[in-house]
A and B are shown apart, each in its own frame.
Chain A
Amino acid sequence: MSVANERGERLSELRQKYGREPLPPRAEGTADTPREAQPKFRGLDSGHRACQGCGEALAARLVMESAGPDVMIANATGCLEVFTTPWPQSAWRVPWVHSLFENAAAVASGMEAAMKAKGRNTKVLAFGGDGGTYDIGFQALSGMLERYHNILYVCYDNEAYMNTGIQRSSSTPHSATTTTSPAGKERMGKRHLKKDLLSIIAAHHIPYSASASVAFPADLQRKVRYAMGIDGPTFLVVHSPCPLGWRHASALTIEVARRAVECGLFPLVEVERGAVTNVMPIRNVRPVTDYLELQGRFAHLMKGGDARAEEERAHLQALADYNIGVFGLKGEGEDPVDTGGIAAVGRSGRPAGRV
């Protein structure tokens, strides 16, 4: 059989298997496409069952690309666990364990202790949503930080219990509607504030904690790489829009996440040993309504002629203004829209706070 025939058979076999033409082999001397130039290691592979526009899936992929292959993961119960591992399939290319909703930090602690006992350097990561981190898994997380385990804990914050169908968590923003904080004649959505988790984490005086957003992938990956290099507990909360729960078009995930940062409601900050060491500056601060208007969960705030809506909008604006003031977000520096510039900073691997 000739080589050409052999190749032809292989191609038709692949066509049958995948239902499409495989890419032709690249001619020698041609450069990588931008996609091909992406990091080669994909700890979380494609083909999982996340919704279109899922911010969490995107964030987890970005985290895994930067975390590298020699890692193992403890994953809390939630969307990420469900959509990546419907038995007998798994989208994970690294050792991964899911135990329960509220114990990812403790399971990770055990894995890390095991690695210490074995004398191995495999880095342990713990993943949880805001429910598993801000709420039910909070105690285990605090214990893990206090005991100073060498673990990177990543919280994918989509601001409600999405896996059970959009119920409020302590991370749900003030006045957002969820199925357990609906808006009605007597209520304007959630009555309480979003928990300031990062300050509580920082109060453990761990080496590094930070907030990041899927709208700024280079910044997110730089923070992951920095945290990976630290021998001790580190924490990252990633703002991850949920089109289903936030009720925005799935194509708008990045835009929604970007506006959250640009209005000041989700500040991107880095905290080392309890002190803020870096923030992402906002050159052109947007009004919070730019962020709210894209999402159905805030639709009740955008109705004209409703004094209560006006009051809540003012309340949210005040929260954003507070963040901008307290973290000094407004000022000189790179524009957060300019992801190219941020990427250039991140790729060099320079540590956070020393840009």
Chain B
Amino acid sequence: MLEALEGSQAIARAVALCRPDVVAAYPITPQTHIVENLSRLVAEGDMHTEFVSVESEFSAASVVLGAAAAGVRAYTATASQGVLLMAEVLFNIAGMRIPLVMTVANRAVSAPLSIWNDHSDSMAVRDSGWIQLHCADNQEAVDTTIQAFRIAQETELPVMVCMDGFVLTHTMEPIALPEQKEVDNWLPPFEFSRRLDPDDPKSLGTLVAPDFFAEVRHSHHGAMLKALDVIAAVDRDWEGLTGRACGGLLEVSGPAEAKIGILAMGSTLGTIAMGMEHRGPDVASARLIKLRAFRPFPAEALRAACDGLDHLIVIDRAISPGLGGVVGTEVAAVLADVPGAPRIHNHAMGLGGRDIPETVYTDLVAAIADPDAPAFSIFDADLQKLAPEDR
């Protein structure tokens, strides 16, 4: 049955269906509605969890770390500055390989202060060792949240579910929520093999000298690569249960014969698809690649998805100043040794919540024809607003 739900409310309901034992969170726009809805579910007795209302995101991440280490299912959510304040703990959680789920309501990072959407926050912790999954719409966000609990458990890795702040978190959509019984049957009880247990005491988070450190990293990297199969398999399994899939690692749509590809993460792809549908008669169609798993990075799947393309437009919602687009750079690296790989056109757009209109599709396709176009640009920057020397 479909219900009209705000994105944040839907996420809170999805989290409740997974019966986390401990939830810790600190409010931050645009994640606030998620914690508010969770608090309400707890207050009304619709959700039985230890809700720890912490004094900072740093403690939110630390509390769920401690809870999962002690052997229970735990959840947190944050955004933007919260992700950065958590950063030290996020690396620690991943390094200790603690299974957790966190929603990131993607938002720009200050300065300048912006409460609006882009991907700077989750990009800033790209190398923390968390699995990062991006959601294209609220149904995907709901389904991915539930899947994330199973992925975390099966891989013993933390999973970050990234959803665009405001664009998804504050948008009402018809959402299908599974029944409690369905989730109970689908999601096994929480297990953590190295949990703190007085009957079998272990020491977690010990000091590791140089003689073991490289091996720890090797093992973590290997676990992330193995997680690729788990992410794809869990999505297939979810499709078996609900009839809905989220695209596994990445999803390809659009005409197979297209010579132009457009790759994006998150809600941007919906805008692009709409733009393609409404394009003028002279504008070429494109193959759309929705990158769902950003970490681990699905190199194999991406190479296959780009087969036969002449051009690949990669849309970034964050930039690495002094380099360019992060996703664009990584895609270029993955395709570097592929014979006949498409030419990559990397653009950042929608930074700090700048609206991305449907017409961007036509503009992006048109920009391909420009032989002098730079390898990277902030596509929607209005240079007239800048002093001449900054243009």
Contacts and interface: CB of A to CB of B under 8 A. Distances in A.
A82 B207 contact: yes
Given A97-B66, A99-B66, 9 more contacts: A94-B201, A96-B202, A97-B205, A99-B89, A100-B92, A112-B66, A113-B66, A114-B72, A146-B55
Interface string B19-31: 0011010000000
Interface in A107-131: 107-118, 122
B62 interface: yes
A250 interface: no
A110 B21 contact: no
Interface string A263-299: 0000000000000000000000000000000000000
A69 interface: yes
Contacts of A86: 206-207, 209
B142 interface: no
B172 to A, nearest CB: 32
B63 A139 contact: no
Contacts of B63: 106-107, 109-110, 113
B197 A95 contact: yes
Nearest to B212: A87
A140 B66 contact: no
Contacts, number: 156
Contact of A97 (B52, B69, B209): B69
B198 A99 contact: no
Given A100-B89, A143-B54, A114 B71 contact: yes
12 contacts: A85-B207, A87-B212, A97-B205, A98-B206, A103-B89, A107-B69, A110-B63, A110-B67, A111-B196, A113-B66, A114-B50, A146-B55
B59 interface: yes
B198 A114 contact: no
Nearest to A115: B70
B58 interface: yes
Interface string B109-145: 0000000000000000000000000000000000000
Given A97-B66, A118-B21, A106 B204 contact: no
A228 to B, nearest CB: 14
A102 interface: yes
A18 B5 CA distance: 68
B269 interface: no
Most chain-A CB neighbours within 10 Å: which of B56, B63, B68, B208?
B63
Nearest to A43: B201
A267 to B, nearest CB: 29
Contacts of A95: 70, 196-198, 201-203
Interface in A60-102: 69-72, 74, 81-82, 85-88, 90, 92-100, 102
B96 A87 contact: no
A167 interface: no
B276 to A, nearest CB: 46
A204 to B, nearest CB: 12
A110 B207 contact: no
Contacts of B74: 110, 114
A99 B22 contact: no
| Number of chain A interface residues as a range | 35 or more
B65 interface: yes
Given A110-B63, A111-B66, A96 B204 contact: yes
Interface string B69-100: 11110100000000000001100100010000
Interface in A216-243: none
B53 interface: yes
A112 B53 CA distance: 14
Contacts of A108: 66
B72 A109 contact: no
* Most B-side CB within 10 Å, residue of A93, A105, A110, A142: A110
Contact of A72 (B54, B65, B70, B72): B70
B50 A116 contact: yes
Given A100-B92, A107-B66, A72 B198 contact: yes
A74 to B, nearest CB: 6
Interface of A: 69-72, 74, 81-82, 85-88, 90, 92-100, 102-103, 105-118, 122, 139-140, 142-143, 146-147
Contact of B62 (A90, A94, A112, A140): A140
B198 A107 contact: no
A100 B56 CA distance: 15
B64 interface: yes
Residue among A74, A99, A112, A118 with the highest chain B CB neighbour number at 10 A? A99
A106 B208 contact: no
Contact of A107 (B49, B65, B88, B209): B65
A152 to B, nearest CB: 15
A110 B205 CA distance: 16
A71 B64 contact: no
Contacts of A92: 201, 203
A118 B71 contact: yes
A102 B65 CA distance: 14
A161 B65 CA distance: 25
Contacts of B205: 97-99
Contacts of B67: 110-111, 113-114, 117
A142 B63 CA distance: 14
A113 B50 CA distance: 6
B54 A111 contact: no
Nearest to A109: B63
B204 A114 contact: no
A63 to B, nearest CB: 16
Nearest to B200: A95
Contacts of A117: 21-22, 49-50, 67, 72
Nearest to B95: A99
B207 A96 contact: no
B71 A87 contact: no
B165 to A, nearest CB: 25
Contacts of A74: 66
Nearest to A123: B198
B62 A99 contact: yes
B72 to A, nearest CB: 4
